[in-house]
Amino acid sequence: MQLLHTTFLYPRYSDMDGFAHVNNAAYLHYIEEGRVDFFHTHQGQFPSLQNGTHLLVLTSVECSFSASAVYGNPLEVHTWLLEVGGVKGKLFQQVQDRQNHTLFFSAIVEFAVVSRSGKPLKMADFFRNLPEFTPAREPLSANANSRHGSNLMHLHSLYKKSWKSAIEQRKIFHHDPAFQQTSLLTRFNELDAYRHINNAIYFTYFEEARWRLLENLQVNLQNLWDGSEAAVLAGQFVSYRKDLPAVEPVTIYTAFVEFRQASAYVVHVLENSVRELCAVALADIVSVNLKSGRPQRWPEKTRKCAPDFLMSHVET
């Protein structure tokens, strides 16, 4: 037996950004709705979630953006249970147009189930009411990669191979001048039912930090609005390490780890007020002409400034 579910929804007007497209963080809310619907539909198999004994928490998300949804697009969110491990599981989720099946967004979501005290529950115990369940790992992951491109799961492995040690062990971002610092304050309305900052909100924090980085690269806002240049998020990997409460000062350290002719990899490191690592992200951004919809070279002034924000001592 394979567990899969489809959720139907419409974008809200408040989900739009300055380009009149659904903002990248909104897709995280859509797939969250899909996950909630998925487990609610199968609540008879997951009584510990139904009675509140255990909580489902995200440990990482890797996502790929394939097209831009707009207000009025009827959407469907497909959710598959992809893999079950020792204390973690994986879901594969897609957001597409309900009518013409245009694929907008894909994600592999890694989750854990924990008690109210934070103790993880073994997946074998969590899924004990599904003795016939067979994880759809091979056929779904293979099909997924062929349908939404090579970005999915690529960013995670790239970060782990090339930059994780420098960032998480050596904490290079504390002393490398290439890292730009963005200070924010978490807000009460960003909390979810678990009383910590919702996973989708981290995407808005990282987006804010990227825009400040682009401002330092002299990206012209007028050119953004008329469509002659734009920096589009093609994919992002986020690893969640520690919960954030409301009204918590946070600092996001942001730098390029690789800068190419028409795209770049950007790393974000989020720390709380006592310098604990709360989240790390690797974003794939692309320079695009919105009028033509095609990638284009970064403006010359941007290419000249970029080396000042390129992380030092990159491991390759």
Q: Which of 110, 134, 150 is the last residue of a domain?
A: 150
Q: Which CATH number do you get for residue 302?
A: 3.10.129.10
- DSSP assignment of 26-49: HHHHHHHHHHHHHHHHTGGG-HHH
144, 2: one domain: yes
Q: Is the pLDDT of residue 148 over 50?
A: no
Pair 172, 311 in one domain: yes
Q: Are residues 241 and 230 in the same domain?
A: yes
Average pLDDT, the chain: 87
Overall number of domains in the chain: 2
Contact of 24 with 203, CB cutoff 8 Å: yes
pLDDT at 135: 54
- Do residues 85 and 118 share a domain? yes
Residues 181 and 134 in one domain: no
Q: Domain range for residue 304?
A: 153-316
Asked whether the predicted pLDDT for residue 5 surpasses 50, the reply is yes
Question: Residue 55: left if φ>0, alpha if ψ -120 to 50, beta else—which one?
Answer: beta
**Whether residue 158 is found in the same domain as residue 306:** yes
Q: pTM for the whole thing?
A: 0.90
Confidence category of residue 123, pLDDT binned at 50, 70, 90: confident
pLDDT in tens, 91-118: 999 999 999 999 999 999 999 999 888 8
Mean pLDDT on 26-43: 91
Do residues 223 and 111 both lie within one domain? no
The pLDDT of residue 221 is above 80: no
Q: Is 77 exposed, middle or buried (0-12, 13-18, 19+ CB in 10 A)?
A: buried
